[in-house]
Amino acid sequence: MDDMGFPKPPGETRVVVAMSGGVDSSVTAALMAEAGYDVVGMTLQLYDHGQAVARKGACCAGQDIMDARRVADTIGMPHYVLDYESRFRDAVMDDFADSYLRGETPIPCVRCNQSVKFRDLMATARDLGAEALVTGHYIRRLIGPKGRPELHQARDAAKDQSYFLFATTPAQLDFLRFPLGGLEKSETRRHAERLALPVAAKPESQDICFVPDGDYARVVERLRPGACDAGDVVHVDGRVLGRHDGIINFTVGQRKGLGVSIGEPLFVSRIEPESRRVIVGPLSALSRADLTVHDVNWLGDGDLGDGVPRQVTVKIRSAAAVVGATLHGLSDGRARIDFDVAQTGVAAGQACVFYDGSRVLGGGWIARQEATIADQAAVAAAG
């Protein structure tokens, strides 16, 4: 297990484990109990179950709550379910809908960690006298050379969740522990079998928990009636190619489902929410030499705004490889990233996460690119 860093022996240390009902959080709770800690399990009811209750593999749906309780009973530990539905709607679901309406591509899992699980649940854990909130995320908490906790990528690169946890603050990192960060997923499964956990063979959740059938547009339309207003599909050279039935159906980099064709591959290069236009063009129109992020969370050493450029690697999508870049701290919680090699598919609303080797230096939210159709045409011509 990764660094626990508790001042007391295990038997005298109470920890709260966030339990989603899945294999990872269940193994986390069982390992902490096996190590002798005073473990309390907490499961959050986050949304109106509806269809999600009946869908297997949905995080925090009704079946998952029951699974978490079964695991707690197997371990012999107390377990509580907290109704965070209104908090989740305000902080995550409403933000998700509004982000799409701004022409962005949101990441609700980051918002959930940032504003519900790591903020509100952490406060509850403290109220219970816990000395840590423990989760089943695949990420490592290591003590750096200056004696402070650092966030590092997981040992299992295929399961690493550092992209989704970039917004973890230094104060939160003091209170969080991630026992699975040094394990391979196969090891976690073996622990589940060894400990005879009732979820040992349970499949992983893949989709956004409150989108039971993967239809994001329908969820946004339900939360924001009228969100599917029609608009034009416009080529980067200014030609109107057709109509669409709502910008919420598109994301930057998208190729399929555009509803228009000109005999060559087209990609969404820009979404203009004010005019409801979806701008499309060749792959070269997606090329970006830099980007700006806002609401930066800095976990690195020193002051990001000290004016000193930093050579880093960055990730601009959860499934993307890290790429080389230069990080420039700006004012008002912003930063500019200059790529070593131009990148495609940079989407507003996604995160750009900064790394130094395996260490997570922080990250921010990618801002919309303020560009005109003429600017996009020039980019396309240059390609």
Active site residues: 112, 209
Secondary structure (H, E, C), 73-102 = HHHCCCEEEEECHHHHHHHHHHHHHHHHHC
207 C-beta neighbours (distance < 10 Å), count: 15
**Token output for 252:** 């930057």
The residue to which tokens 């399990």 are assigned: 41
What is d(CA 240, CA 231) in angstroms, rounded to the nearest whole number? 10
Dihedral (Cα; 190, 191, 197, 201), 10-degree rounding: -30
Q: Where would I find the beta strands (DSSP E) of the chain?
A: 14-18, 38-45, 79-83, 133-134, 139-143, 149-153, 176-177, 231-235, 240-244, 267-272, 277-281, 288-298, 310-315, 323-329, 335-343, 351-356, 359-366
51 C-beta neighbours (distance < 10 Å), count: 12
Q: Is residue 382 within a helix (H) or strand (E), and if so which, with residue range?
A: helix 373-382
